[in-house]
Amino acid sequence: MTLILVPILVAGQIKTAQTQVNVIIAQAQSISITQPSVDIQLTQMAHYVSGNTSGVQTNHINVGSTTNYQISVRTESDYLSFNGGNSAIPVSTIALQATMGSDLTGSNTPASLTTIITPSVTLSSTDTIVIKNAVAEGARGYNVTYAIPATKTSYYLNKPTGTYSTTVIYTLASQ
Amino acid sequence: MKKVVNIASFAIIVFAGSVASAQIATGKSASTTLNVNLDNAYDIQVGQSSVSIDMKTPNHFQQGNDSGKQTGHVVVSSNTGYEVKVAAETELLNNGTAIPVSTVTVTPTLGAYKGAGTAPTVADVTLTQNALAVGTEKTIIAKNSGETKREYDVVYAISAEQANQYLNKTTGVYSTKVTYSLYAK
């Protein structure tokens, strides 16, 4: 006996396969600083007379957050460091001025209208909120200018020349 | 007779190099290094470009005369302690006729503070009256600490003792150029 095997195709039916697609949603947050080092010059008399700024640091703060968020800022010390030790110059002589920056995802997503930016924060070693009520977004930049106002330049008189530094720390938190 | 004292000034500016360092972090917090590059800076200005002392009445020739107070005549900005010195370019000259410039004294007094914020201490300032000299700088202001836009008022004077040096001279304008120089202290 001969068995003849004939494939049978049923019109309208094709092979099927299935897989399950899982989207795992978890909180994810990141913050980075675009410019690792920022300078303010006090090298000309006009700087001492009128104060000076770092100029605008474009998209200085770069944030991504799956939740609404706020950002606070502090310095590592209440005084600028000089030659490996603390100087007598307080970091409160410097103001941080933040403004809305760019959407950094490439999608030109407009900034949240709920975001509140504190226009000027006096630097200190205590966390101070600079941005709050920001809506979750993929990658958002904020511009920052560091400024020594004219009323604070007297702290820099009668000091050894050189570079006075501090580390400015930005912290991202869900809101 | 009339003498005109012309005033000129210049500034000494010193620059030095600066150092920058870098630090960055990502995650829930991130940081940047903020540097303030501080360097010496100096500026001196003279408020009045021309100052006159009249010698034209009998009283002037007997008791001398002065320019009156020149308010804000010398304006100093310095991030360190400083000295201001004054010198004359020539004797007082009028068409080749000379009168010793040493007959004129310069007397500074503390003026207004025009810088920002609270006026700094002036307890460490020393003001000295000096006679002008040709080519020799005389210190009239010395201050141990820096400040911005500190004004000094100045009086130029011919004393009674020196007034007779102006007798028997052709009438006219006798003038010299006076230069103030700023030095770091």
- The reply to whether residue B29 touches residue A154, judged by beta carbons under 8 angstroms, is no
Q: Which residues in chain B are contacts of A172 at CB distance < 8 A?
A: 28-29
Mutation target to probe the A interface, by most A beta carbons within 10 A, among B9, B12, B13, B32 is B32
User: CA B40, CA A159: separation in Å to the nearest integer?
Assistant: 9
pLDDT tens-digit series, residues A24-51: 667 788 999 999 999 999 999 999 999 9
What would the two tokens of residue B157 be? 């004077």
Q: Which residues in chain A are contacts of B114 at CB distance < 8 A?
A: none
What would the two tokens of residue A119 be? 């226009």
User: CA A129, CA A171: separation in Å to the nearest integer?
Assistant: 9
User: CA A31, CA A72: separation in Å to the nearest integer?
Assistant: 11
Please give the interface size between A and B, counted as residue pairs whose CB atoms are below 8 Å apart.
170
Share of chain B above pLDDT 90, in %: 82
CA B19 → CA A42, A62, B33, B39, distances in Å? 13, 26, 12, 12
Q: Residue type at A68?
A: N
User: CA B99, CA B163: separation in Å to the nearest integer?
Assistant: 11
Please compute the mean of the pLDDT values over residues B138-158 and round it to a whole number.
97
pLDDT class for A11, splitting at 50, 70, 90? low
Please compute the mean of the pLDDT values over residues A87-115 and round it to a whole number.
94
What would the two tokens of residue A71 be? 């950002």
User: CA B90, CA B174: separation in Å to the nearest integer?
Assistant: 11
pTM of the model: 0.80
- CA nearest B47: which of B130, B175, B152? B152
Q: Chain A residue with minimal CA distance to B80?
A: A158
Sign for the pseudo-dihedral over CA of A62, A38, A91, A50: negative
A75 has pLDDT over 80: yes
Share of chain B above pLDDT 70, in %: 85
- The beta strands (E) that lie in A34-161 are given as 37-42, 51-53, 57-65, 69-75, 79-82, 85-90, 95-103, 116-117, 121-122, 128-134, 137-149
Does the beta carbon of B184 lie under 8 angstroms from any beta carbon of chain A? Answer: no
Q: Of the ranges A55-64, B6-15, B30-39, B174-183, which one carries the lowest mean pLDDT score?
A: B6-15
pLDDT value of residue B16: 26
pLDDT tens-digit series, residues A106-126: 888 888 899 999 999 999 999
The β-bridge relationship of strands B138-143 and B65-66 is unpaired
Does the beta carbon of B80 lie under 8 angstroms from any beta carbon of chain A? Answer: yes
Q: Residue type at B110?
A: L
pLDDT value of residue A108: 85
User: CA B38, CA A152: separation in Å to the nearest integer?
Assistant: 14
Give the three-state DSSP class for B84: strand
pLDDT value of residue A7: 53
Mutation target to probe the B interface, by most B beta carbons within 10 A, among A165, A166, A169, A172 is A165
- CA nearest B103: which of B81, B79, B134? B134
- The reply to whether residue A154 touches residue B28, judged by beta carbons under 8 angstroms, is no
- The reply to whether residue B36 touches residue A32, judged by beta carbons under 8 angstroms, is no
Q: Residue type at A55?
A: G
pLDDT value of residue B21: 30
CA B185 → CA B26, B44, B84, B142, B180, distances in Å? 46, 14, 10, 8, 15
The neighbour count for residue A69, using CB atoms within 10 Å, is: 23
Please compute the mean of the pLDDT values over residues A152-173 and round it to a whole number.
96
pLDDT class for A5, splitting at 50, 70, 90? low
Residue ranges of domains in chain B: 2-184
Quote the DSSP letter at residue B74. E
pLDDT value of residue B116: 87
pLDDT value of residue B8: 33
B17 has pLDDT over 50: no
CB B156 within 8 A of CB B3: no
What would the two tokens of residue A41 be? 């010059």
pLDDT value of residue A25: 67
Please compute the mean of the pLDDT values over residues A76-105 and round it to a whole number.
96
Q: Which residues in chain B are contacts of A32 at CB distance < 8 A?
A: 24-26, 30
pLDDT value of residue B4: 32
- The reply to whether residue A37 touches residue B149, judged by beta carbons under 8 angstroms, is no
Plot region of B168 (φ>0 → left; ψ -120 to 50 → alpha; else → beta): left
pLDDT value of residue B10: 26
- The reply to whether residue B37 touches residue A172, judged by beta carbons under 8 angstroms, is no
- CA nearest A47: which of A167, A142, A125, A161? A161
Q: Which residue has the higher pLDDT, A21 or A164?
A: A164
- Provide ipTM, 2 decimals: 0.84
Q: Which residue has the higher pLDDT, B14 or B7?
A: B7
Q: Which residues in chain B are contacts of A165 at CB distance < 8 A?
A: 21, 33-36
Gap between the terminal Cα atoms of chain B: 40
B5 has pLDDT over 50: no
Sign for the pseudo-dihedral over CA of A154, A156, A159, A161: negative
B79 has pLDDT over 70: yes
A14 has pLDDT over 70: no
